[in-house]
Chain A
Amino acid sequence: MGLEKAIGSVMPNALTTRLDRLINWAQKNSLWPMPFGTACCGIELMATLAAKYDLARFGAEAIRFSPRQADLLIVAGRVSLKEMPVLKKIYDQMPEPKWVISMGACASCGGVFDTYTLIQGVDQFIPVDIYVPGCPPRPEDMIDALIQIQKIVEEKSVRDPSD
């Protein structure tokens, strides 16, 4: 259309882009995770965030311990029947848009703990975007999961109310 050119001739420092791309670009590079670390996976998540693996390189270092300030829920560990309502409440308190990573075998399917007290997969109660296999997953797996989440964020549109 020549719009870029026309704007560029008036304002040489301006960039033109689509609104979706701008918002998604900002959101995907500043995900604020809420860590729901209930077991050994939580330790591995800490390693992911610490200096060696440094999740800050992907913009997700601002760990929020208040769900109201977070947009990425990381369920890292076992969730018992007694704890599930807490997790659900935390998920409900997070503002939209929000994404969920189910980290490790326990959060995803109960893992080896097929017992009287353990939720056999948190996806029965909250929607999960990315499952990370492993017991525990390595920090590299978590970085990969974050990149997968970024891809999901990239594809959403401000016009789609379901996102």
Chain B
Amino acid sequence: MSETHLIDRVRELFPEAIIEVQRAHDELTLVVRKSALEAFMHFLFQDTELAFNYLVDVTAVDYQNLPEISEKFQARFMVVYHLYSHQNNVRVRIKTPLEEDEAVPSVATLWKAANWLEREVYDMFGIVFEGHPDLCRILMPDDYEGHPLRKDYPLRGRGERARFLFDTGNQEG
């Protein structure tokens, strides 16, 4: 199964879902509408011909300071999924544009690997994954406020270092 065949099949099955097909550095990226994401990912997971059995990564990008992208897709964030098929040796990147307070459907029920990866995206960007079994912070302390990889989060933090109490590991106040 080739990449062209993959594009033809998903275009045929989801004519409305795909906003854009990008090819850069020999890599295939599909920008998919959020409303269709759940069905789309479910299809990629269960289809025996495509056989995307391996979820390599889930991450996100904050395009707040890149108006050429955020205006084009009417979105502040993009959630990015990297999929790989061992059977076909094919990789694909799925991107979903997202406005600030929008949630995305979780894919943790399809690929178990998504569980921690989605928690990390939630922790760093504050993007909520609906249907995730346990969406809590994974890297930052539990009582941490804010989502540090957002572009509007100051690099040196909001005084966490000054408020830090080392005997409990918690923030003051």
Contacts and interface: CB of A to CB of B under 8 A. Distances in A.
Task: Give chain B's interface secondary structure class.
Answer: loop
A81 B141 CA distance: 8
A115 B124 CA distance: 14
B164 to A, nearest CB: 5
12 contacts: A81-B160, A81-B161, A81-B164, A82-B139, A85-B169, A88-B166, A114-B156, A116-B156, A116-B158, A117-B148, A117-B157, A119-B161
Interface string A141-153: 0000000000000
B47 interface: no
Contact of A120 (B140, B161, B167): B161
Contacts of B140: 82, 117
A100 to B, nearest CB: 15
A118 B140 CA distance: 11
Interface string B149-166: 000011111101100101
A116 B139 CA distance: 13
Contacts of A116: 148, 153-158, 160-161
Interface of B: 139-141, 148, 153-158, 160-161, 164, 166-169
Interface in A67-88: 81-82, 84-85, 88
A118 to B, nearest CB: 8
Interface string A77-109: 000011011001000000000000000000000
Contacts of A115: 155-157
Contacts of A81: 141, 160-161, 164, 169
A125 interface: yes
Given A116-B148, A117-B140, A117-B148, A84 B154 contact: no
